[in-house]
Chains A and B, each alone.
Chain A
Amino acid sequence: MADLTTRFAGIESPNPFWLASGPPSNCGDQVQRAFDAGWGGAVWKTIGEPIVNVSSRYSSVDWNGLRMMGLNNIELITDRPIETNLREISEVKKRYPKHAVIASLMVESRREAWHAIVRRTEDAGADGLELNFGCPHGMSERGMGSAVGQVPEYAKLITEWVKEIARTPVLVKLTPNVSDIRTIARAAKLGGADGLSAINTLNSITGVDLDAFTPRPDVGGQSSHGGYCGPAVKPIALHMVQQLAGDPECGLPVSGIGGISSWREAAEFLLLGCHSLQVCTAVMHYGYRIVEDMIEGLSNWMDEKGFRTLDDFRGLSLARVTEWKNLDLNYKIVARIHPELCIGCGLCYIACWDGAHQCIHIEGASTPERLLAESRARSAQTPAVVAVDTAHTPLARIPKVDERECVGCNLCWLVCPVERCITMDRVDSGQAAESWAQRSEHAAEP
C-alpha cells in the first residue's frame, strides 16, 4: 500500500489530510475526534484576541437540488480565550505526538503583539504557525487578515516579525482576493516564510432572499460580504496553487486549500505541486468521517498508478501547464457519439446548435426548430399508446457529428449525461505541431 507520510516545510504528519483552520478545528475535543477519524493534521482555528461573532454566519449556494456547492461564512476568528486554546493544543499534542498541530494566528499589526502570541503558541507545543493573512471579512476591517495579505509590504513585515523569534516552521496563508497571488507569496518568501497555504476564502455574496430582499446570511435584516469556499472554488484554488508552485521566484512549498472534498481533488492539488492538503467545507457538510475514503481512495489510485510515495507524483502536472501561446494549433480532436450508449436526450444536439458550432445533426431536420415541428407533426398522427422500446434508442433520435465541421470544443461531451457515450477522439490534422508563438515567429521571419 502506498505511503502517505507527509513532510511539508519541516512539519510531519501521517498523511497529507489536514483540517483547515475553521469551525471543524475550533477546540481540542474536535481536533482529537478528527485525529481518531484519521486526519493527519489540523490547523487550529485562528487564535488571537477573542472576538464576538454574529448569529447567522453561513450561507450557501445550492445547485439543481444539491446542497452547498459553495459555502460562504462571516464567522470571525476564535471567540475563545487564548489560554484555553493553547492549553488544549498542549493536551492534543501530548495525546497525538505524531499528528501535525499548526496554530493559525492573527493579532493586531504590532511587533510586540506578534512576538507575544508566537512565543506563547510555540510554548504550548504547536508544530508550526500559520499566519492568517487571508480572512476577507470582518477582521480585514480592523486592519488584520486580508488587509495584511493584500499589501506585499505588510505581509513581508509581519512575516519578518514572526521569524525574528519563531522556532517552528512559519506558513503564510494567502488570500485569493488579489490581482496576482504571486506578489504576496514573493513578499512572504522575502519575509522568511517556510511555506504557504492557499487559498483562503473569496469575497462573496451568495444570494439574495427574494422575499425579504436581504442578501444571505441575514443578520437582522442586513448582511455583509463573506468568504466563499467549498466545491465551487476548487478551480480557482487549483489555478492559484499552480501559479505558486510554478513560480520560480516564490519557490516555497504549498499546502493546498479550496474545495477539496474527496481523494480526487486531493490528487489534483498534489499533481499541481502541493505538499499537504487542507479541508474545511466538506467536513462541515459531512463530518470528519470523510477522511477514510480520502486516504483509501488516494492510496488505491497511487497503487494503481505505481506511485509509492507522494513525492513520486507531486507536481507531475505542473510541466503540462503552459501559456496558451504554446499550445499546438494543429492538434485536432472531434466528437464521436457511440450510438449503443446514446439514450436520445438530445442535449448534445441543442448544446452544439445553440451554444457551439452547429455541427451535430439529427437526420431529416435542418434546424432544431424544424426538428421540433416535425416531431410534433409525426406524433400527432401516431396512436397515443405506443409500445415504447425502453432498451434501445430509436436510430432517428441518435445525433450524428459532422466531423468536418466539428472544432473539438468538448461541449457535447460535457453535457452528455452518459459516461463514455461521447468521446473526443484525436484525428490527424495532417499538419506538424505548431503553436501560436511559433506561427507568429515564422510570420515575422523575412
Chain B
Amino acid sequence: MTNEQQFAASFAEIHPPLGRREALVEANRCLYCFDAPCSNACPTHIDVPGFIKKIASGNPGGSAMTILNANILGLSCARVCPVDVLCEGACVMHRYNQRPIEIGRLQRHAMDYFYAAGRRLPPAAAAKPGRVVCIGAGPASLACAATLRQRGFAVTIFDSRPLAGGLNTYGVAEYKLRPSDSLLEVELVRSLGVEFRLSAEIGGELRIKEMEEQFDIVFLGVGLGRTQPLGIPGEGLPGVVDALRFIADYKMHRGALVGRRVVVVGGGNTAIDAATAALRLGAEEVHTLYRRSETEMPAFEFEYDLAKREGVRFHWLTQPVAIHAATKDNAAVESVECVRMDLGPPDRRGRRQPQQVPGSNFRLPCDMVIPSIGQSRLLDFLSQFRDIRLAGGVVVVDPATGQTSNPRYFAGGDCVNGGREVVDAVAEGKRAAAGIACILAAKAEAMLEDMHG
C-alpha cells in the first residue's frame, strides 16, 4: 500500500455515501412535512422535504439545486454538519418512535450527484454596479461572495493561505471532509466569476486604505486566530503542536508523525478531531484532559461517542500545569504534569467553575501534547479596521443584516459568532450578502438620481 492509500484507509469517511437504491428507500421514508421542523432547524433553511422528494422522484439534479439555492456549501455541510442537533434532531420521526430521516446523507447523495455529473450553477445575473471584497476565504466569505455574484455584483476574495476554503480545507477532520471536496466547492464559487487572491498579504494601514478605495463594501469573514496557548511551562517544546496546526499539517501532507503516547488538552469538537486523528496516524495511546467533568464537555455527544469507540481515554477534572522535557539537554516531551480539579459553585452564567485541588499533582507520561482549548480572538488584526466595534473579541453586527458599526463593513462566521458550525458561517455570509446587496442597490439608485438630477 502506498502512503496515500494507507492514509485514505486510516481516514475512511465515517459517513459513507448512500447507494442509489438506499437513497431512494430512505428518501421515500420522509413524510414531506409542511413547515418542516428540519428546514427550520437548518441555519440556512434548506427546503429539506423538497430536496428529499426530488431524490425520491429521480430528479437528483433538481434536488442539488434546491440545496445549493439555500446553501452554496451543500457538499461540505452534508458531511460536517452536526445533524443530530440540527435537521435530524428536529425530525418528527423521533416522535413516531422511529429513526429520523438521514437528511445529511441524503443531502450528500444529491450533492455528490451534482459534482460527479459535472453540473453547473445557472449563470450570474446581469452585472450590477458595486464591488465587494471578502476577507478570508472560509465558508462565510464563500457564501457571501457566491450570493452577491449570483445577483450580479463583482466580488474578490482575499486569503493569506495558499488554498481557499478556510477551516473546510485546513481544519476539519479528514474522515469528515477531504480537502479535495472542500476545493470542489471553492471551484463552484469561482465558476460564478468570483475572483480569488490567495497567499495575499492582508492588513496594514496602507493596504486597508487601498482596499477601501478599490471596493465599495468589505466583508470580514476572517474566522478566529490560532489555538490559544495553555500558558504553562514547557509549551514551547518541539513535541507540543496545537490542534489546528496538527490537523492542517496531516491533511496537507497526507500524514504526520505522531508520538506513541499523545495527550490532547481540551474537551471541544476540535480536541476530538485531533485525538481521533492521532490514533489514526499511529499513536498507541491518546489521552484527553478536560478540566471539567463529562457532563460539561462542550463536544457534541456523537463526537464524544466516536472518540470513546475509537479508544481515546478521557481524564475528567484534570488540568495540565506543566510540560516536562526528558532531560535538560533532550527537549523531547517526557510527561505532562497535571492537577486534579473540583467543580466549585456556579458562576453568574450558571457554569460551575473548576478549582485546583491543592497537592493533587501527578505526571502523565507522554511524548506529544496537542493543546486544543479554543481559538484566540483576532483582536490586533480586527482593530486595524476603522470604527469597527468589537465585544469579547468578536465583531458586533446588526443581526438582521450583518452590518458592522462601520457601514461599509459587514461580517459573518466565526469572527462574529465566536466559533460555530460551517452551516452557521454560510447562513451569516448569506445574510450579509442580502444586506450588502440592499446597500449597493440603494447606492446605484442614488447615483442614477444624481445623474438625471
Contacts and interface: CB of A to CB of B under 8 A. Distances in A.
Contacts of A362: 35
B442 interface: no
B420 to A, nearest CB: 6
A269 interface: no
A371 B420 CA distance: 28
A342 to B, nearest CB: 8
A346 B41 contact: no
Contacts of A346: 33-36
Interface residues of B, number: 33
A381 B40 CA distance: 11
Interface string B11-44: 0000000000000110110011111110011010
Interface residues of A, number: 31
Contact of B96 (A65, A372, A388, A417): A417
B423 interface: yes
Contacts of B421: 384-385
Given A388-B85, A417-B96, A381 B34 contact: no
Interface string B91-115: 0111110000000000000000000
A142 interface: no
A371 B31 CA distance: 19
Contact of A375 (B35, B82, B92): B35
B95 A385 contact: no
Contacts, number: 82
A65 B24 CA distance: 7
B34 A347 contact: yes
Contacts of B27: 65
Contact of B43 (A343, A350, A384, A391): A384
Contact of A390 (B56, B89, B399, B427): B89
Contact of B41 (A349, A379, A397): A379
Binding site of A, secondary structure by majority: helix, strand, loop or mixed? loop
Given A346-B33, A375-B35, A390-B94, A65 B40 contact: no
B86 interface: yes
Contacts of B94: 388, 390-391
A381 B43 CA distance: 9
B313 interface: no
B242 interface: no
A350 B89 contact: no
Given A345-B34, A385-B85, A379 B45 contact: yes
Interface in B403-437: 420-421, 423-424, 427, 431
Contacts of B95: 343-344, 390-393
Residue among B41, B399, B420 having the largest count of chain A Cβ atoms under 10 Å: B41
A384 B427 contact: yes
Nearest to A386: B41
A64 interface: yes
Contact of A344 (B37, B41, B45): B37
A216 to B, nearest CB: 16
Contacts of A376: 40, 45
Contact of A379 (B40, B92, B424): B40
B89 A384 contact: no
Nearest to A66: B28
A286 B37 CA distance: 38
Given A349-B34, A375-B35, A385-B86, A343 B92 contact: yes
B192 to A, nearest CB: 24
A401 to B, nearest CB: 16
Contacts of B86: 384-385
A433 interface: no
A418 interface: yes
B132 to A, nearest CB: 22
B56 A64 contact: yes
A344 B35 CA distance: 9
B31 A347 contact: yes
A368 interface: yes
B90 interface: yes
Interface in A343-393: 343-347, 349-350, 362, 368, 371-372, 375-376, 378-381, 384-388, 390-393
Residue among A343, A344, A379, A384 having the largest count of chain B Cβ atoms under 10 Å: A384
A64 B33 contact: no
Contacts of B41: 379, 386, 388
A371 B35 contact: yes
A378 B27 CA distance: 27
A392 B24 CA distance: 29
B87 to A, nearest CB: 10
Contacts of B423: 384
A372 B85 contact: no
Given A388-B89, A391-B94, A418-B96, 18 more contacts: A64-B56, A65-B27, A343-B95, A344-B33, A344-B95, A345-B31, A345-B92, A346-B33, A346-B35, A376-B40, A379-B41, A379-B45, A384-B427, A385-B86, A385-B420, A386-B85, A390-B95, A417-B96
Interface of A: 64-65, 343-347, 349-350, 362, 368, 371-372, 375-376, 378-381, 384-388, 390-393, 397, 417-418
Q: List the 9 closest pairs (A to B, CB-CB), nearest first.
A: A65-B28, A346-B34, A390-B94, A350-B34, A343-B95, A388-B89, A379-B40, A343-B92, A345-B33
28 contacts: A343-B92, A343-B95, A344-B37, A345-B31, A345-B34, A345-B92, A346-B36, A349-B34, A368-B34, A368-B35, A371-B35, A375-B40, A376-B40, A379-B41, A379-B45, A380-B45, A380-B431, A384-B420, A384-B423, A384-B424, A385-B82, A385-B85, A385-B420, A388-B41, A388-B90, A390-B89, A392-B95, A417-B96
